[in-house]
Amino acid sequence: MAAMSWPTQDELDKIRGIVSEMAGKGTEDVRVVVSPYRICPLGAHIDHQGGIVSAMTINKGILLGFVPSGNTQRVIENEYLGLRNGILDQSAILLSSHGCLTYMNCKTTEHKLIHPLNFLKDHETEPQKGYKILLAFSGLRQALTSNPGYNSRVAECQEAAKILLHASGNGELEPFLCNVEPESYEAHKVKLEPNLARRAEHYFSENMRVSKGLEAWASGELRQFGQLMSASGLSSIKNYECGCEPLIQLYEVLLRAPGVFGARFSGAGFRGCCVALVDTDCVAEAAKFVREEYPKLQPVLASQLNPDTAVLICEAGDCARVI
C-alpha cells in the first residue's frame, strides 16, 4: 500500500470532471470534500429495504468528488454504476457527529444522533471505560460493482417482500421488506423458500438489534452493544450469506482478541474489512493479536497488506467537510 499524498490541482480537476459526467452536472456544481470512512455497527444490508440502521464515521478520511444535489449520489451509484444500494453510506457520512451513533429510518428518512452516557464496563461500581474502533483489512479488494452477490441479495429481499405482501393482502405495495408489518412476517414467513426466508430473517432480526442497540448505546452499555454487533455479524454470515472465508476468519479473530466488545463485517460484507468495538485499555493488545493471528490463516492475503495499516486504531469521527 503506497504512502498517501495530497492530490494536485490537476488531479482534483480530474475528479470534478469525472463526477460531473457521471451526475450530468456542470463542473462548477461539483465540490471536493474530505469524507470520513463510514462504519455500520448495526443495520448493515437492510438500508436498501427501508430498514432502520445505526452508523458512525471514523477519523480516517479519503478524498472524493461530491455533488450537493438531492439524490445525485444515489443516481451515480444506482443508475451509473448499477449498484442497488440504499441511503446508508451518503447519509451517515453527511449526518454523523463525533462520538454519536447516527440513527436512520431508511424508509421515512427520519434521523437523529444518539448521545451516549458515560460508558461503563460491567457495573456502575467499576471504573469507567471508553472505546476505540479497530478496522482490520483482509487483503481482498474486489469492488461491489464487479460482484453480483450484493445486487442478488437485494433482489432476493424484494422477492421475499413480494410474497409476504401478497400473502397479507397488501400486494399493491412496493416490494420492500419495510412495507411488511412484523406481525405479517411472523404469520406468513412459512411461505418463503429457504434462501428467501433467511434474507427476511436477517432484515427483521436486524431491525430489532438496531432498536436494542440504540438503547444500549444511549445508556452506556458497551458490552451489550458489542454483543448485538457480533450477533449482527453472525446473521450476515448465516442469514444474509455474505462474506467469504478470509472475512469470516478475520471476524472470528477479532472476536477472540483481548477487550473486543463486538465485531462484524464492514464494506457491505462482500470484500474488504471488519470492524470491532474495543475497550480503550486493551486496544493496542487487540491490534497486535489480529496482526499476529490473521496471517496464520491467510498468509498470502496478509502478505499483500502494509503491516503498518493492516489494522488501524480509530476514533469516532465527524461528518464530511467541503474543502
DSSP string, 182-234: HHHHHHHGGGS-HHHHHHHHHHHHHHHHHHHHHHHHHTTBHHHHHHHHHHHHH
Whether 10 is catalytic is: no
CB neighbour list of residue 146: distance below 8 Å, 6 or more residues apart = none
Number of H helices, E strands in the chain: 10, 9
**DSSP class of 75:** I
Residue 135's DSSP bridge partners are: 275, 312
Contact call for residues 262 and 213 (beta carbons, < 8 A): no
Name which of 35, 23, 125, 111 is nearest 75 in CA terms: 23
Q: Are strands 131-137 and 52-66 parallel, antiparallel or unpaired?
A: unpaired
The x, y and z cell numbers of residue 78, run together, are 444506482
Q: How many CB atoms lie within 10 A of CB 114?
A: 17
Instruction: Say whether 60 sits in a helix, a strand or coil.
Output: strand
Contact call for residues 129 and 222 (beta carbons, < 8 A): yes
Residue 112's DSSP bridge partners are: 103
Tell me which of 10, 89, 122, 281 is the catalytic residue.
Answer: 89
Distance, in Å, from the CA atom of 85 to the CA atom of 70, rounded to the nearest integer, reads 16
Contact call for residues 163 and 191 (beta carbons, < 8 A): yes
What are the residue numbers of the active site? 89
